[in-house]
Structure 1
Amino acid sequence: MFKSTLMAGITLAAGLAIATTAQAETRITYKSAKAGSSYYQMGVELAEAMKSGSSGDIIVTVEESQGSVQNVMETRARGGDYVFTTPPALVGAAKGGKGPFEGKESPKFANIRALFPIPSLTMHFVVSKASGVEDFAGLEGKTLLLGKGSFGAREGEKYLGLFGLEGKVKLAEVELSNAVAALKNGQIDGFVTAGSWPAPNVVEAAASADVTVLSLSDDQVAETKRTRTVIPAGTYSEQASEIVTTSLPVVAYTTTAMDDEAAYQLTKTFWDTKASLSETARWWAGVDKDLMGTIQGKIHPGALRYYQEAGFPLTDAQQ
């Protein structure tokens, strides 16, 4: 009798220990961008930071993605362990059935909730010093590489139109992956790229050639209707002063299917480890409390609890 009772107690204790361990561990699937891209690398860095910052309680698996639209679309079939990245405007488009989501509406889009901002897509207009270009007006008559199909290419083309340069700049038929080589051999005078700063291809260009990254005036920033962004001096080789440019915010989202405690721990761990993340990769240094204002729509209740405890500035619409 005593032996049976003892064994039952041991079994119960073991079961409780296993259950406690299972409850303590949070497993997340993080979907961001194509493998090899800077945003995929950010996902890997974030996964490592979550694991170390939570003492192994948060395990993040990074999943390759074909882009932000796919990330949003997958909320229709994913569960409470799904975290994805996208510009906030795409979430608004999904909820309204607009743009790429027209005819693909789903009531599950209404359940998307924000967790925290990640590095923004930042515009870089890079020109060789040999070109003599010091501002956008100086691009007239020059050869510029925009690339094809990317956000940076579309945005760069838009800016040329806004700043009176449409038809006045020769657009090079060169792949963006060859931009640095083309700049060095004089095939182009400059190139346009969008990526979180410091952008790897701009780092390469600044290290291997004399380049200037153009700044926008405040009026030009206003014309773009994008977020004003300042790249600090010294970000790139020989960059003596800060660069004023624009960016497209990017945010990590989940849905209401994620439980509040998991969202709280994810958000808290992110901000607790952001300083060490910034030391590992400088693009995380561009994420701060000011980026909270770029989050459109509601924040997940679990994340909201953290922000309220930490005294973050929030809008009524985010709550």
Structure 2
Amino acid sequence: MKHMKKISLAAMMSVAVIMPSLAETRITYKSAKTTSSYYQMAVQISEAMKAGTEGEIIVTVEESQGSVQNVMEVRARGGDYVFTTPPALVRLAKAGKAMFEGKGDPKFNEIRALFPIPSLTMHFVVSSESGVTSFAGLEGKKILLGKGSFGAKEGAKYLKLFGLESKVELANVELSNAVPALKNGQIDGFVTAGSWPAPNVIEAAASTGVHVLSLSNDQIKASKRSELTIPAGTYAGQENDITTTSLPVVAYTTTAMDDDTAYSLTKTYWEQKEKMGVSAAWWNGVDKGLMANIEGQIHPGAVRYYVEKGYSLTDAQK
């Protein structure tokens, strides 16, 4: 009998050890390259989820080579998969267009949004010494666009749209060297895209003195991107708001995720956002206004949270 009691006690202790792990919900969050600010955001979200749910949701961050890869992996992933991408890529995937042509999959139609994260924000940065205060002033100047990134492609597009394509000298310098190149006068300015405030722009503004160009209403319209305002005081020496463009970025999952998990992820994200903003200012640019950037349907579990909180959702989002 004593032997049986020992076995029972051992079994109970075993169950007690196992139970906490059974209560955990494990999520894979696929974001960006480890060198990207979006990877840092993913790590912050992972930490926020653990803290906000007292360990009930554990998020593992995976490095990604880009948003297209994130969308493509939907085909082989399950209900524990969360990824980030601009809404436009989800639309293209569902339609089987552009980079998704010939690679369509029924699972693309199961993609659902959870919440917006900081947008890719265009920064046209020029040194104070250059005297440039508008796009017209870039003529004859040496500008660094970088290579291969969204910011580089978008920057080249804007130079062409604004009649500057052959009037600006493009610097053959890596974007990672933009700030030193600006300091020593190798370049007059650089173009970068990322969440705001952008770390390289903060560094340049604090050490060199810069002016970040604003776009006019006509220029924003020509760009076919979303308008975004960077408030005055965001960067050292910035006395006025900066009007620029952005590419929205959203965290998505699929209908394979259960409603309760989607609800908890969304609820915890918004409840922890203010705390995240204390350590990383880019979270302070996220508010209810970015909900309008979500195209198509939001996951039913996330919808439940937004309805509870009185968020205004479109019929398409529901």
Task: Provide TM-score, normalisation by structure 2.
Answer: 0.95
Per-residue deviation, 1:13: 11
Percent of paired sites with the same residue:
70
Q: Which amino acid aligns with 1:167?
A: S
Amino acid corresponding to residue 39 of structure 1 in structure 2: Y
How far did 1:200 drift?
Answer: 1.0
The DSSP-based 3-state class of the residue aligned with 1:109 is helix
* CA distances 1:213-238 after superposition (whole Å, capped 9, x unpaired): 11111221111111111111111111
Structure 1 residues 169-209: Cα deviation after superposition (integer angstroms, max 9, x where no partner)? 11111111111111111111100000100111111111110
Unaligned runs of 5+ in 2: none
Aligned equivalent of 2:91: 92
AA matched with 1:145? L
List aligned pairs for 1:139-150, cutoff 5 A.
139-150=138-149
> What's the offset of the Cα at 1:24?
3.4
Aligned-partner residue type, residue 241 of structure 1: N
State the distance in 2 between where 1:99 and 1:262 align: 32
SS in 2 for 1:95: helix
d(CA) in 2 for partners of 1:11 and 1:205? 62
Within 5 Å, give how 1:90-239 maps onto structure 2.
90-239=89-238
| Paired AA for residue 152 in structure 1 | G
Superposed displacement of residue 25, structure 1: 1.8
How far apart in 1 are the matches of 2:218 and 2:159?
Answer: 14
- Give the structure-1-normalised TM-score: 0.94
Q: CA shift at 1:61, angstroms?
A: 0.6
**Counterparts of 1:127 and 1:51 in 2: how far apart (Å)?**
41
Q: Give the drift of 1:21.
A: 3.9
Cα drift, residue 36 of structure 1: 2.0
Q: How much has 1:63 moved relative to structure 2?
A: 0.6
Which letter does structure 1 place at the counterpart of 2:285? G
How does 1:1-150 map onto structure 2 within 5 Å? 21-22=20-21, 24-150=23-149
**SS state at 1:239 partner:** coil
C-alpha separation in 2, matches of 1:309 and 1:23: 28
1:312 aligns with: 311
Match of 2:268 in 1: 269
Asked if 1:256 corresponds to 2:255, the answer is yes
What residue identity is the alignment partner of 1:105? Answer: G
Instruction: Give the Cα separation in 2 of the matches to 1:58 and 1:238.
Output: 42
Deviations along 1:56-98, whole A, 9 cap, x unmatched? 1111111111100100011111111110000000001111111
Task: Note the 1:277-288 alignment, pairs <5 A.
Answer: 277-288=276-287
SS in 2 for 1:297: coil
Any idea what SS the aligned residue of 1:186 has?
Answer: coil
Question: Residue 116 of structure 2 aligns to a residue in which SS?
Answer: strand
What SS does the aligned partner of 1:166 have? coil
Residue 166 (structure 1) shift: 1.8
CA distance in 2, matches of 1:19, 1:257: 26
1:240-269: CA deviation from partner (whole Å, max 9, x where unpaired) = 111110100000000111111000000000
- How many angstroms does 1:37 deviate by? 1.3
CA distance in structure 1 between the aligned counterparts of 2:53 and 2:194, rounded to whole angstroms: 29
The number of equivalent residue pairs is 318
Counterparts of 2:271 and 2:193, CA distance in 1? 28
